[in-house]
Structure 1
Amino acid sequence: MVDYVIETNNLSKIYYKNKVVNSVDMHVEKGKIYGLLGKNGAGKTTTMCMLLNLTYPSEGDIFLFGKNVNNHSNEIYSNIGSIIETPGFYENLTAFENLKIISKIRGDFNSNNINSVLQMVNLDNDKSKKFKDFSLGMKQRLGIAAAIMHSPELLILDEPINGLDPFGIKEIRTLLKRLSHEFGITILISSHILSEIENIADVIGFMDNGILIEEISKEELYTRLDKFVEFEVSDIDLAVDIFKKLELKENKDYAVKGDMLCLYTHLNLRDKFNALFVKAGIDVKKVNLREENLEDFFTRFVSNN
């Protein structure tokens, strides 16, 4: 039997008659990194806020660690760390001093524990630096340190890599993988950056317009990535007209990407399509057989659902 740390049933949220989260059934397995993937406005943050009891569901049930949150809220939420939006800290204090204040408010101050957490997030060598002098990546790592300082079993992170440069993204990615693989922390992370979700997640939930379309393991995802034919042509509009006359549908059968025409279906007819282009006076500069990445899959998947 699968051990789910997060499980929702028909979870929905309505704001002013607008259903921003619509009947979400989510399943986050213990010890996994679950990537909630969707465009801005897809409902990711609202879903996380409901999971964290920051806003109440309009409909549905939430089970965390196998328990209904309505009946065991104090026990449950003491075992969760989270970052929703940008973490706030005192600008003129060091990382240690900021965490000391947080831990004293919680009533669990332990200097050894703080030093250990700072070491985990690679901030132990910046003991004298003030928060105001931190890079954005350092600030995000301190936010994660604050979220894990009480040794939670579940970490919920909303867009933790948003705004980071490539080096900062790599730092956060390495840290989250370590927290999951070495310390067994279950992680729910949201992002609209498809490549990062692909790099970090064990399971991906595709969300669009408030609906969780599907949950899929990364291993299964790779078996479902379609091959496609990429035509580089001199007249993209004329090539598209030919596809339309053949009753091929955009986003389902083909897509336009810059000066490239990508064909997803009828791959065995690519020689005939190439001949039709040439007959119509279109110069075909390249014809490549490729495999789609997560971004291609997400675009096609959302368009067809």
Structure 2
Amino acid sequence: MEYVFKANNISKRYGKFTALSQVNMEIPKGAIYGFVGKNGAGKTTLIRIMCGLQKQTEGFYELMGKSGDDKDIVKARRRMGAVVESPAIYKDMTARDNLIQQCLMLGLPDFDCVDEILELVGLADTGKKKARNFSLGMRQRLGIGVALCGSPDFIILDEPINGLDPQGIIEVRELILKLNKERGITFLISSHILDELAKVATNYGFIDKGHIVRQMTSKELKDECRKAVRMKVSNVELLTKVMEEKGIDYKILDTNTADVYADVVFSDIAKDFEKVGCSIITMEERDESLEAFYLSLLGGNDNVQKSVC
């Protein structure tokens, strides 16, 4: 598999404080990588290292196949865009002038991309309106437009929907999906608004206290979050026998408990269990959300907004 970014045992210390500790991360090319963690977990520190705004204390990384200490790493960074913490826009300029300014900063030979980007991010009709008069959603889309100058292959978005109204959230979400599908742009999205992240992410990385505690695909996450009936029975081996005979998927949790992945009618399943001499002690539906998975993985509930897988 090809990766746009790979971190190997990256650590970052500020005096006695350790912001990152032996971080290992892989972002597949073409992915929308959801980067999840509480505030202060190390997300922004790692993003700043990716962008070349800070240097790691230990470890190394690769960006677009170039080592972080390679003299050509600057060329690799020209293939990425970023909106870190807040959009880097000039509020006294129009959307068009902001994009032209970014093209000048990148040393692009012309401004041919400007009209296309304005159309793409939905700001083509803003005319002479200054960015200071834009809504938060419009500013965020303009920030993404600035990041698109230079035709990047990889875009980093740090909390892109934080503070947006529902319409703004939808607009940013649809823009990310469109750019990923139509242009093949890889995204890293740092967020703790988990319900929205679950609507776009193809891959996840969970960080806590400077450690990457788990990486997984959206399919792997959905498998762990899928709806189940948790059954506590007198004999889990007999439950296994019934499930195998009926062709129902299940997962044994302990000597008396299992998750059954099917719509189960109590009276029907009780009869099946009675035939083999197994009694049902308790039975309850469970539908683990991304929020619940996150909390079980990292613990705590600070800065987490609800979500459903």
Question: In structure 2, how many angstroms separate the alpha carbons of the residues matched to 1:223 and 1:64?
Answer: 30
Please show how residues 230-249 of structure 1 align to structure 2 within 5 Å.
Answer: none
Q: Mark the CA change 1:303 to 1:101 in structure 2 (over 3 Å): closer, same or farther.
A: closer
In the other structure, the counterpart of 1:28 is 27
Deviations 1:204-246, CA, capped at 9 Å, x for gaps: 101111110010000011111265789xxxxxxxxxxxxxxxx
- The one-letter amino acid paired with 2:285 is L
Q: Which runs of 5+ in 2 are unaligned?
A: 231-252, 260-265, 267-282, 301-309
In the other structure, the counterpart of 2:14 is 15
Q: Does 1:55 align with 2:62?
A: no
Shift of 1:105: 2.6
- Bigger drift between 65-74 and 115-124 goes to 65-74
Question: In structure 2, how many angstroms separate the alpha carbons of the residues matched to 1:181 and 1:45?
Answer: 26
Shift of 1:191: 0.6
Shift of 1:109: 5.5
Question: In structure 1, how many angstroms separate the alpha carbons of the residues matched to 2:79 and 2:151?
Answer: 7
Deviations 1:86-119, CA, capped at 9 Å, x for gaps: 1233323210012112212322153331010111
- The one-letter amino acid paired with 1:296 is A
Q: Does 1:85 align with 2:85?
A: yes
Q: Does 1:296 align with 2:292?
A: yes
1:229–1:267 contact (8 Å) kept in structure 2 = no
* TM-score normalised by structure 2 residue count: 0.77
- The one-letter amino acid paired with 2:50 is L
Question: In structure 1, how many angstroms separate the alpha carbons of the residues matched to 2:214 and 2:257?
Answer: 26
Q: Quote the sequence identity (%).
A: 39
Please show how residues 25-174 of structure 1 align to structure 2 within 5 Å.
Answer: 25-71=24-70, 72-108=72-108, 110-174=110-174
2:106–2:150 contact (8 Å) kept in structure 1 = no
Question: In structure 2, how many angstroms separate the alpha carbons of the residues matched to 1:106 and 1:213?
Answer: 36
Q: Which runs of 5+ in 1 are unaligned?
A: 231-263, 272-286
Deviations 1:40-96, CA, capped at 9 Å, x for gaps: 111000000011110010111010112202112221111110111112333232100
Over aligned residues, Cα RMSD in angstroms? 2.2
Question: In structure 1, how many angstroms separate the alpha carbons of the residues matched to 2:46 and 2:121?
Answer: 27
Secondary structure of the 1:26 match is strand
Question: In structure 1, how many angstroms separate the alpha carbons of the residues matched to 2:111 and 2:42?
Answer: 38
Q: Mark the CA change 1:161 to 1:293 in structure 2 (over 3 Å): closer, same or farther.
A: same
* TM-score normalised by structure 1 residue count: 0.78
Question: In structure 1, how many angstroms separate the alpha carbons of the residues matched to 2:298 and 2:89?
Answer: 38
Runs of 4+ in 1 over 4 A off after TM superposition: 226-230, 264-269
Please show how residues 226-265 of structure 1 align to structure 2 within 5 Å.
Answer: none
Shift of 1:193: 1.1
2:32–2:189 contact (8 Å) kept in structure 1 = yes
